[in-house]
Amino acid sequence: MHDLDYWSREGRTDLLGGGARLIPIHTPHGDFKVWTKRVGHNPRIKLLLLHGGPGATHEYFEPFDSWLPEAGIEYYYYDQLGSHRSDQPDIPDLWELPRFVDEVEQVRLALGLSADNFFLLGHSWGGILAIEYALAHPQHLKGLVISNMVASIPAYNRYAQSVLMPSIEPAVLAEIQALEAAKDYENPRYMELLVAHHYVHHVLRLPHAQWPDPVNRAFAHLNPKVYVPMQGPSELGASGKLVNWDRDADLHRIQVPTLTIGATHDTMDPAHMAAMARAMPQGRHLLCPNGSHMAMVDDQEAYMSGLIAFLQDVGSRA
């Protein structure tokens, strides 16, 4: 997997190449730049990838390099504003869902993507962003992929309370909750417990020592100034600005062909993700039977094969 620094943060010097590009973004709080990189060429299928977090990076998508080029799919890595290779302004008012939707639309325009070829894939938080974009700008989409994300944060929190937390040993859960009650999130013990008793079961089902480099880089580069205000500090549910986000009742408005991807061991309820597909007029569902929240890594063949089949099918339509 590649690990290239395309521009120097210290000198703000562009070192762009190989399909990488900085795109100007206009906001109510100033103008900034976001990083994108094109891989491949296909006039009928152009896939823009929305990473999770909020405030994570494109890096954990790098396994796509082993699958999509061979399938002839053009795709775009993209670090959202506030993320690793893009500008990271310390302006809390920027971290709002409507502004992120507007950012995606500016990126689409800059890349020249249109309803003839524009596919949008959002994973985790990126799935929220993809749903909101599809509701706001449906006329520009050829197809949509909602990966490992439910359409309701209240539903996610209920699943965390009823399924995820009870799966943790009671003594361990009590210690995690005590650290959260004390707001001691920076305590190394907090992540130590979460990784051993939650992450390796529901986030990425590999021993932590075997997590691949792109995943480790994405976690290392997570921007807490974006993540915490929107998601909240707890890793067992959401409590930030997104806490009341719920689009279950609006899914029927998404008319474009849409694939929801879930996984048996996901942090998100697999049954909810299957129901989302049934709620959309052209919805389809892919279950990764051996995967977790990062199924593109731990159930890669099921994830990539299903994704490619969807893109090629919809992309072949006039």
Give residue-wise pLDDT tens across range 131-152: 999 999 999 999 999 999 999 9
Instruction: Please indicate whether residue 83 is annotated as part of the active site.
Output: no
Selected catalytic residue, list 266, 269, 298, 299: 266
8 is catalytic: no
Provide the 3-class DSSP secondary structure of residue 275. Answer: helix
Pick left, alpha or beta for residue 81 (phi over 0 → left; psi -120 to 50 → alpha; otherwise beta): beta
Q: What is the pLDDT of residues 85-130, one digit of tens each?
A: 999 999 999 999 999 999 999 999 999 999 999 999 999 999 999 9
Q: Which two tokens stand for residue 122?
A: 């959002």
Go through the domains of the chain in sequence order and give each one's CATH number: 7-156+240-315 (3.40.50.1820)
- In eight-state DSSP terms, residue 147 is E
Q: Which of 58, 123, 140, 293 is catalytic?
A: 293
Of residues 217, 261, 248, 6, the one with CA closest to residue 126 = 261
| Calpha distance 152→143 (Å, rounded) | 21
**What ranges in 170-252 are assigned the alpha helix state H?**
170-181, 188-194, 213-220, 224-231
**124 included as an active-site residue:** yes
Give CA–CA dist 148/109, Å, rounded: 26
Give the chain's largest Cα–Cα span: 57
Cα dist from 290 to 19, 83, 246, 270, whole Å: 34, 29, 27, 12
Active-site annotation holder among 124, 152, 234, 292: 124
Would you write out the chain's pLDDT as a tens digit for each of its 318 residues? 223 333 333 333 333 557 899 999 999 999 999 999 999 999 999 999 999 999 999 999 999 999 999 999 999 999 999 999 999 999 999 999 999 999 999 999 999 999 999 999 999 999 999 999 999 999 999 999 999 999 999 999 999 999 999 999 999 999 999 999 999 999 999 999 999 999 999 999 999 999 999 999 999 999 999 999 999 999 999 999 999 999 999 999 999 999 999 999 999 999 999 999 999 999 999 999 999 999 999 999 999 999 999 999 999 987
Q: If we measure between CA atoms, which residue out of 117, 32, 127, 109 comes closest to residue 75?
A: 117
- pTM for the whole structure: 0.94
Beta-ladder partners of 49: 121
Main-chain dihedrals φ then ψ at residue 69, nearest 5 degrees: -60, -40
Give 232's contacts (C-beta < 8 A, 6+ positions apart). 238, 239, 240, 243
CA atoms within 13 A on the CB side of 197: 21
What CA–CA distances, in Å, run from 314 to 26, 42, 143, 222, 225?
A: 32, 13, 7, 33, 38
